[in-house]
Amino acid sequence: MTSGKLRAFLQDKRYFVIVDDIWSTDAWELVKSALPENNLNSRIVTTTRITNVATSCCSSLEGYVHNIQPLSDEHSQKLFIKIVFGDTSACPPHLEEISHGILEKCHGLPLAIITVASLLAGKSNKHQWEQVYNSMSSAFSHQGMRDILLLSYYDLPHHLKTCLLYLSMFPEDYEIEREELIWRWIAEGFVTEVRGQTVDQIAENYFNELINRSLIQPVDIRYDGRAYACRVHDMVLDLIVLLSAEENFVSIVEGQSHNGGGRKIRRLSVQSKHVGGEVMQDIMDKCSQVRSISFYGCKELGIPHLQKLHSLRVLVSNYYSPLGNEHIKFIGSMFQLKFLRISCLGITELPEEIGDLKHLQTLDIRVSGIAKLPPSIGRLQKLVRLLVGPCVKLPDEIGYLQALQELSTTSIFSIRLMEALRCLTRLKTVGIYLAARGRLISRDMARYKEALKSSLAALHGLQSLYSYSSIVNCEFMEELMDILCCTVPYLQKLVVGGDYLTRLPEQMVSLVHLTYLYLCVARFIQGDLCILGDIPALLCSALSYTWSMPLMNGLPSAASNSGALRSLRSIVLLTEVGWRCCFYRMRCQSSEGYVLVSERRK
C-alpha cells in the first residue's frame, strides 16, 4: 500500500500507530506524510535513540519527548537475580557485594544487565565474578556497553563465536528463521558432529545456547517452547559487524561501498537496493574464494557473473526486481553449493544442470516463479530439504532423493507421484496437497487411496505431516485418518485441512507421540475432550467445526474436570454459527485448570 492510499484509508478513522526505531528525520517525514491529522484524537508513538529525531517527531504534532529512565536499583537487582539464579532464588551472601558492584556499572540499562547476568548464569565462584567486574567499563557510554557485550562474546566457545559472527550476514531488524539459519551454519561447516545426535539437532542446540546467553532474541515462541525465528539486538549487531570486518569474516555492501577494503572476500552480504554494475563487478573481482553470498531486497543491481564461484557454499537471492532465467543458467558450475534459496518471481525455471550440485542440502524456491522441477533433480543424492510452493509440479524422479527429510508443500495429482513418495523413507516432515485434477481421482480413487496408504506406511520416521485436501469427500478424509493412525506411529505434528471429518476420530489416541493437532471436524461433541485427553503427549490442539456447537461457557470447567488432560496446554476451537465465526481459546493454568483466555465472534 502506498503512503497516499494509507492516508486516504485513515482519513476518517481514529488510529493508534507505533513506529519503532526511527533513525533519521527524513524517515520520520516519510512516515508522517502517510498519517493524516484528522481531529479524531488519533495518536502516534515513535521510538528513537537520536535526540534531534525525537524532537522532530514531536515538533509539529504538539507532542512531547519521554526520556526512558534506567531501571531502579530494586528492579535492576530483580532482573539480575532472575537471570542468574532463577525466579525463586536469592543471591548467595558471598556474592552480594560483588553483585552490587556489577549492577552499578550497568547503570540500570536492561541490555547490560541481561548480558552480564547471562554470562554469570551457572557460575557461583566469587573469583569468576570478580574477573567479570574488573573487565567491565561503565555501561553508561556506548563504548562501555560494547565492552560488556565483548565480555559475553569472548566467553563463547569457538564454534558459537563463529555462529554469532555469521549473523552479520543478515540486515538490521531482519527476522531470521531458525531452520534457515541452522542449515546455513551446516552448509558453512560450522557444526561439529556428535555421536547420538543429528547435525541439525546439534545446530539447534547452538541456536538455543545463543538465546540462553541473550545474544540473540527469540521470535514467535511456539507451543513446544521452540522459537520459530530470532532477531539480533542493534547493539549486538553493531559489535559483530565490527568484529566480522576486523577478521574479514563477512563483507557487507551498503549503498555504493562495502566494508571489505581491498582484501579477498570470504562472505558477501548485499544489503542495498541499488548497487551499480561497476561497483558490483569490482566487488566480484575479490570473490574468487567466496563461500557465501546473500542479496537482500535488491531492486537495481549490476548482476554479477557467478559461474566462476567454485567455492560457494551458500547462495541466497532475495530480489524485488524481476530477474530472468539467464541469471541462474550457470548454477550447475557451483559444485560446492549446499544451500540455495531463490526468491524472485522473474525466475520461472531451473536449468537441467541443477542436478550437477552433488552436495546440495537445501533447495528453497517457495517465493519464485518456478512452476516445475526438471527430472535432473533426482540426481541430488545429498538433498535434505526441498521447499516448494503448492503449485510446483514435481517429476517422478523425486523418488530418487534418498537423503530427503523435508518436503514442503507439494500437490499430489498423479498416482505415479504418490507412489514415488514411498521411496523417500527418510522423510521427517512433509506437506502434501491432495487435489483432484479432472477425472483422474474420481476414476481411480481406489488406486489413489492404496498408493497413499502404502506411501505413508513406508514413511516410518515421519514426524510432521501437513495435509490439505480439495477432494470434498468426508469418507476419504476418514480413511486418511485411519491410515495415519495405523501406519505412522511416531507422528508428532499433524495438520489436516480442507475437507471435514464427520467427527473427531477415536483412533487418534494411538498417536502417543503427537504434540500438536489441527483438524477440521463437522460437529462438536463433549466426548472430543476425552479423546484429546487420551493422547498422552498432546500440548496444543486446534479444531475447526462447520456446524453450530453449544456456547462454550461450561467448556473450561468441563476441560478442567477431565483428569486426562494432563499435558495439553492450549485448546483452540473455531466454529461457524450462521454467518458468524466464533473463536475460543483455552489455556491451562496449573492452579485453576483450564480458563477461557479469549473469545471472538464475527
The per-residue pLDDT of the chain, averaged, comes to 81
pLDDT at position 113 is: 87
Residues in the chain: 602
270 with 279: CB under 8 angstroms? no
Backbone CA torsion sign across 440, 422, 497, 564: positive
Q: What is the DSSP letter of 373?
A: -
pLDDT tens-digit series, residues 388-399: 988 898 998 999
Burial status of residue 518 (CB atoms within 10 A of its CB: 0-12, 13-18, 19 or more): middle
pLDDT of residue 299: 64
Q: What is the DSSP pairing of strand 176-177 with strand 217-221?
A: unpaired
- According to DSSP, residue 109 is labeled -
Of 167, 193, 75, 223, residue with least CA distance to 539: 223
For 119, 338, 394, the CA distances from 292, given in Å and listed in that order, are 30, 10, 28
Q: How confident is the model at residue 63 (pLDDT cuts 50, 70, 90)?
A: confident
Q: What is the pLDDT of residue 177?
A: 97
Find residue 240's DSSP bridge partners: none
Burial 38-58 (b: 16+ CB within 10 A, else e): eeeebebebebeeeebbebbe
> Three-state DSSP class for 234?
helix
- What is the structure's pLDDT at 388? 93
Indicate the SS3 state at residue 289: coil
pLDDT given for residue 595 in this prediction: 46
* Contact partners, residue 2, CB within 8 Å, separation at least 6: none
What global pTM score does this model have?
Answer: 0.79
Grid cell of 180 as nine digits: 534457515
Q: What local confidence, expressed as pLDDT, does residue 366 receive?
A: 92
Residue 156 grid coordinates: 563463547
In whole angstroms, how far apart are CA 586 and each of 296, 526, 575, 581?
40, 15, 14, 17
Label residues 173-191 b or e (16+ Cβ within 10 Å = b).
Answer: ebebebbbbbbbbbbbebb
Q: Among 12-26, 134-148, 256-270, 512-526, where is mean pLDDT lowest? A: 134-148
Q: Which residues of 243-274 are buried (b: 16+ CB within 10 A; e: fewer)?
A: bbbeeebbbbbeeeebbbeeeebbbbbbbbee
Structural contact between residues 333 and 208, judged by C-beta atoms closer than 8 angstroms: no
Return the closest-CA partner of residue 348 out of 379, 397, 389, 381.
389
Name the more confident of 308 and 130: 130
Give the Cα separation of 395 and 416 in Å (integer).
Answer: 10
pLDDT at 551: 45
First to last CA, the chain: 25
Q: Identity (one letter) of the amino acid at 506? A: E
* pLDDT confidence band for 513 (50 / 70 / 90): very high
The predicted structure's pLDDT at residue 560: 46
Q: Return left, alpha or beta for 472; rule: phi > 0 is left, psi -120 to 50 is alpha, else beta.
A: left
Looking at residue 64, the DSSP 8-state letter turns out to be -
pLDDT score, position 556: 46
3 state SS of 562: coil
* pLDDT of 554 over the 50 cut: no
Strands 257-258 and 251-254: antiparallel
Q: In terms of pLDDT, which residue wins out, 459 or 446?
A: 459
Instruction: Give pLDDT tens digits for 452-503.
Output: 888 888 888 899 999 887 665 677 778 778 888 888 888 999 998 877 788 8
Sequential DSSP letters for 480-532: HHHHHHHH-TT--EEEEEEEEESS--GGGGG-TT--EEEEEES---THHHHHH
Residue type, position 468, single letter: Y
**Range with the lowest mean pLDDT among 239-248, 367-376, 581-590, 593-602?**
593-602
For residue 181, which phi and psi values (nearest 5 degrees)?
Answer: -65, -45
Yes or no: say if 301 and 276 are a contact pair by the CB < 8 Å rule: no
**Helical spans, DSSP H, in 121-228:** 126-135, 142-154, 158-166, 178-188, 199-212
Model pLDDT, residue 102: 87
**pLDDT tens per residue across span 73-129:** 888 888 888 888 886 678 888 888 888 888 888 878 888 888 888 888 888 888 888
